């Protein structure tokens, strides 16, 4: 009887180990999808913003591209950026959007205008 219980538990633990190993392999084969939150991290690295539409390259995920539409909210360097992430590697293609506000006082405020910085020399920043 004791030998039968020992064989039973050895078989059960062997089957559980096999299932756990197959789950690990299946998890490693699973593809990760990009998240729209990677776009502000890539786009926000710059200190100066300009109004317009910009493409954001995403090298980590093929068949995926990002777009940022920058508009000035106020004349004090506050910008609204609308991000769009399109993943065309899946069927149907997935689109995600995100809106973020960035404060960049060193950015040029408005088209063709200059910003006077509060410094001792009163110089202008272009």
HEC per residue, 59-83: CCCCCEEEEEEEEECCCCCEEEEEE
What pLDDT, on a 0 to 100 scale, did the predictor assign at position 112?
A: 52
pLDDT digits (tens, 9 = 90+) for 69-107: 999 887 788 899 999 999 887 788 889 999 999 888 887
121 — pLDDT class (breaks 50, 70, 90): very low
Q: Report pLDDT for 117.
A: 37
Is the pLDDT score of 45 beyond 90? Answer: no
Whether the predicted model's global pTM rises above the 0.85 cut: no
- Dump pLDDT digits (tens) for 7-42: 999 999 999 999 999 999 988 887 777 888 888 888
Residues paired with 56 in a beta bridge: 66
């Amino acid at each position: 009887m004791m030998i039968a219980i020992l064989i039973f538990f050895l078989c059960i633990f062997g089957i559980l180990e096999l299932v756990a190993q197959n789950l690990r392999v299946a998890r490693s084969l699973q593809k990760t999808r990009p998240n729209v939150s990677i776009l502000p991290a890539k786009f926000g690295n710059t200190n100066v913003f300009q109004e317009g539409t910009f493409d954001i390259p995403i090298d980590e995920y093929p068949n995926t591209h990002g777009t940022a539409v920058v508009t000035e909210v106020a004349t004090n360097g506050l910008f609204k950026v609308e991000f769009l992430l399109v993943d065309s590697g899946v069927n149907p293609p997935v689109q995600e959007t995100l809106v973020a506000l960035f404060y960049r006082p060193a950015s040029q405020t408005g088209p063709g205008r200059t910003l006077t910085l509060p410094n001792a020399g009163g110089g202008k920043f272009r």
